[in-house]
Structure 1
Amino acid sequence: MSSALPTCPECGSSNIVKNGKIHNGKQNHKCKDCSRQFVANPQNKVIDEQTKQLIDKLLLEKIPLAGIARVVEVSDVWLQRYVNHKYAQVERRVQVSTQKRGGLTIECDEAWSFVGNKGNKQWIWLAINRDTREIVGVHIGDRSRVGARALWASLPAVYRQCALCYSDFWEAYETVLPTKRHRAVGKDSGQTNHIERFNCTLRQRVSRLVRKTLSFSKKLENHIGAIWYFIHHYNASLHV
C-alpha cells in the first residue's frame, strides 16, 4: 500500500502529485492548487567551503550550471543564487602588470555572443598585450562606435598614451583608435593572431559562449560576470 502524499506547506491543500526527484534523489511534489513545489521533511544542507571552492573552479570550465549541480550534489536553485552573487561581485576592470611607456603593442578584436536569444547580440570587445599575453581591455555591448570607445576607455592609461594598435577593418576602430598608432589588417597578416586565439580559448572555456549550446546566458549581468570572471583568472594564471 503506497504512503499518503503530504499536504502543501504553502496552502495546506492535499491535492498533491509527484513531480520527479531533486538532485539528491528525494521525491519532489507539486501542489495542483497553488503550484508550489516541495519535498516532504526537507533538510537544509550546509554547503562547505571545499565544495564552494570546487564550484569556483568548475565555473572556469565548459560545464553548464545543471552539470555542476549534478557533480557537486547541490540544488539548481542554490547554485543559481550562489553564481548570481559571485558574478555580481566580480570587478569590471582589468588587473594587469605595470608597463613602462614605449614599445607596447596591442591587438584588438570583437567576438559575437548573445543573451536570451540570438536576436539579443552582445559583442565582446577585447585587447591583448602582444608580448605579455595579458588581456588589457574589455567591454561587452553592441558593435557600434560606442563599444569601440568603451574598449578604448577600459585600457590602462599607458596603453592609451603610447601603444601601437592592430585591429581588423571594422570601421568603428578607425573613429576611436589614434590614427598614427592604428594599423587595420586582415587575418592573413598574422598581426591579430594572439587575440583571435584568445577568442577561441574564451569560447571553449566559457560554456555560455559556445555558438551551438543550451547553456547560453539568460541574464545579461551573469553573462558579463562570467566573462570577466574567466578573464581575471586567465590574467592571473599568466603570473603563476
Structure 2
Amino acid sequence: MKPYLLCPTCGSDDIMKNGTTRRGKQNYKCRDCGRQFVENPQWKPKDKDTCALIDRLLLERIPLAGIARVLQLSESWLQQYVNGEYSKVPQHAEVVAKATTRLGVQLDELWSFVDKKGNKQWVWLAMDRASREIIGCHVGDRFAQSAQALWQSLPRQYRQYARIYTDHWDAYASVLPSKRHFAVDKDSGLTSHIERLNNTLRQRISRLVRRSLSFSKKLENHIGAIWNFIHHYNQKIRENLQREQMADFSLSFT
C-alpha cells in the first residue's frame, strides 16, 4: 500500500517517487513545489528555538563538532547552517555616535591561521578607548596594505578626529596621520584595553585559539565568525550603556 505522505514544505499530497538516496532510502518529490524528501528522516527540520540556541553557542568557544554532538545534529547540516549565517553577517561596525572632541582609538593585530598554520591571517582591530566598542576590523597579512584596510574600516569621525594609539609595528606609521598617531610601549597602558580584547577573542572564538583542532578551513567562515562576535560584543556594550543612562536618569528624580 502506498504510504500517505504530505510535502514538508507546502503540505501538498501530490507526491511521486524520485529514486533513492545514497543510503538506499526511497526518495520522494512534491509535484507542486519540487521539494525532495524521505519518509521519517533521521535529521528532522530544526525549529526556531534550536537555531537560536545554535546562534548563542557560536558565540562561545565550542567547536562545531561539539555543538553537533550536544544538540544531536548532523555535522554536515550544521556546517551548511553556519556557512549561511556567516555569509549574512555585516562586515562593518555599528557604533554609538559620539562627540568628536575627545575621541581616542587603540589599534592592534592578532595572529591566527586558516586551514594550516603556514596560512597566517592577522586580525587587525580598532577599539574606542572610552566606550570599548570595536569600531573596525580587517583580516589579512601583517603589512601596510592591511593596516590601510583597517584604517578605512573605521567610521569617518574617528579617521578625522581621533588620537590613535598603537604599538611600534612599522605598518602603522606608513598609514596613520602622523600628528594624531602615538606609537607606545605596552608598559604605557595606552593599548591595554585592546590587548585585553585579544585575550577575550581567543577565549570566545575557538578558531582563534593558538593550539586547537578547531581551526577555520575557509577564510570566509573565519572572517564571518570574527564579525559575528564583534556585533554581539558591541551590542552588549550598547545595552550596558543604556542601562547606565537609565539609572542616571532615575537618580536625577530622587
Which TM class, normalised by the smaller chain length?
0.7 to 0.9
TM-score under structure 2 normalisation? Answer: 0.79
Counterpart residue type for residue 99 of structure 1: K
Q: Name the residue aligned to 1:66.
A: 65
Counterpart residue type for residue 215 of structure 1: S
Q: Name the residue aligned to 1:99.
A: 98
The 3-state SS of whatever aligns with 1:238 is helix
The Cα RMSD (Å) is: 1.7
Matches within 5 A, 1:207-226: 207-226=206-225
Confirm or deny: 8 A CA contact 2:137 2:153 kept in the other structure: yes
Q: Name the residue aligned to 1:155.
A: 154
CA distance in 1, matches of 2:222, 2:168: 27
| Residue-by-residue CA offset, 1:171-212 (whole Å, 9 max, x unaligned) | 000011100000001111111000000000001000010000
Q: Name the residue aligned to 1:16.
A: none
- Residue 227 of structure 1 and its aligned partner are, at CA, apart by 0.2
* Residues 11/66 of structure 1: CA separation in 2 closer, same or farther (3 Å cut): closer
Q: Name the residue aligned to 1:183.
A: 182
Confirm or deny: 8 A CA contact 2:167 2:185 kept in the other structure: yes
2:203 matches 1:204: yes
Q: Percent identity?
A: 60
CA distance in 2, matches of 1:92, 1:98: 18
CA distance in 2, matches of 1:42, 1:53: 22
Confirm or deny: 8 A CA contact 2:96 2:238 kept in the other structure: no
Confirm or deny: 8 A CA contact 2:43 2:73 kept in the other structure: no
CA distance in 1, matches of 2:78, 2:95: 30
Confirm or deny: 8 A CA contact 1:100 1:158 kept in the other structure: no
| Residue-by-residue CA offset, 1:131-160 (whole Å, 9 max, x unaligned) | 000001111111110000001000000000
| Residue-by-residue CA offset, 1:88-145 (whole Å, 9 max, x unaligned) | 0000001111122221011000000000001100000001011000001111111110
Q: Name the residue aligned to 2:84.
A: 85
The 3-state SS of whatever aligns with 2:120 is strand
Counterpart residue type for residue 73 of structure 1: Q
Counterpart residue type for residue 138 of structure 2: H
Q: Name the residue aligned to 1:21.
A: none
Matches within 5 A, 1:33-52: 42-52=41-51
CA distance in 2, matches of 1:9, 1:50: 29
CA distance in 2, matches of 1:9, 1:66: 24
- Residue 73 of structure 1 and its aligned partner are, at CA, apart by 1.3
- Residue 10 of structure 1 and its aligned partner are, at CA, apart by 3.8
CA distance in 2, matches of 1:98, 1:92: 18
Matches within 5 A, 1:136-147: 136-147=135-146
CA distance in 1, matches of 2:23, 2:225: 38
Confirm or deny: 8 A CA contact 1:111 1:124 kept in the other structure: yes
Q: Name the residue aligned to 1:167.
A: 166
Confirm or deny: 8 A CA contact 1:202 1:209 kept in the other structure: yes
| Residue-by-residue CA offset, 1:25-44 (whole Å, 9 max, x unaligned) | xxxxxxxxxxxxxxx97444
Counterpart residue type for residue 122 of structure 1: Q
Superposition misfits of 4+ residues, deviation over 6 angstroms: none
TM-score under structure 1 normalisation? Answer: 0.83
Confirm or deny: 8 A CA contact 2:65 2:75 kept in the other structure: yes
The 3-state SS of whatever aligns with 2:152 is helix
